[in-house]
Amino acid sequence: MSPSQLRFDLRLIADMVAPKTRVLDVGCGEGELLKFLRDTKKVDGRGIELSMAGVAAAVRQGLSVIQGDADTDLKDYPAGAFDYVILSQTLQATRNPREVLEQMLRIGKHAIVSLPNFGHWRVRLSLLAHGRMPVTSSLGFAWYDTPNIHLCTIDDFIDLAQAIGARIERGLAIDSSGQIRPFTPPDWKANLMGENGLFLLGK
């Protein structure tokens, strides 16, 4: 797989991973990112995926993936087992985001987290203009059937990272046209213009 074939947000995550490291991808789907990291960066990758169909597809590609859940299964791993623990577009769907993030930084030297930004201007405008829960391109669910039970803004996430003593090593805000804006918090523009946020955290 060439970098151009990898989903845009996964490519940004892949760029944060150093070669020949140990990676745990939490919510790895069918293992697209793990396969890319294995093939291009010789990464020793593992995955956790909730859906059995995703797990089966990943294992069929020779990837080491288990069926499991970010909320319950991270506690099994020993401290410092991985160089990077990745959680892509999933933190907002976990039952206990704080604990998940703490676990990620316990078992990994770094955590890489991407999330939809509820502080994006479109979301703000949508709520202001219509008075209803926003449904946007990155948040495409009605309030009653969304898996996203813990939505937050980029600034909210930064607060959480600081609360658990994590160091934000890199922050990227990605706007709706795919423009990438590196930022160092606090940055009100990132929280307004970023449709998605991507963070590399350390301890």
Partner 1 sequence: MNLPPVLAPGGIDPRTQACSTAELGPLKLDCGVVLERITVAWRTYGTLNADKSNAILVCHALTGDQYLADSHPVTGKPGWWHTLVGPGNLFDTDRYFLICSNVLGGCMGTTGPVEINPQTGKPWGLGFPVITIGDMVNAQALLLDHLGIEQLFCVVGGSMGGMQVLEWAASHPRRVFAALPIATSSRHSAQNIAFGEVGRQAIMADPDWHEGDYHSKGTNPHRGLAVARMAAHITYLSEPALHKKFGRKLQNRQNVTYGFEADFQIESYLRHQGSTFVERFDANSYLYITRAMDYFDLAAEHGGKLANAFKGTPVRFCVISFTSDWLFPTRESRAIVHALNAVAANVSFVEIESDKGHDAFLLDEPEFHKTLQGFLDGAAEHRGLLPGRSVDS
Where along the sequence are the contacts to partner 1 (CB under 8 A)? 44, 46, 52, 55-56, 58-68, 73, 76-78, 81-82
Q: Which is nearer to partner 1, 44 or 175 (by Cβ)?
A: 44
Q: Which is nearer to partner 1, 65 or 190 (by Cβ)?
A: 65
Minimum Å distance from CB 34 to partner 1?
11
Minimum Å distance from CB 13 to partner 1?
21
Q: Which is nearer to partner 1, 57 or 180 (by Cβ)?
A: 57
Minimum Å distance from CB 44 to partner 1?
8
Q: Which is nearer to partner 1, 45 or 134 (by Cβ)?
A: 45
* 168, 185 Cβ separation under 8 angstroms: yes
Minimum Å distance from CB 82 to partner 1?
8
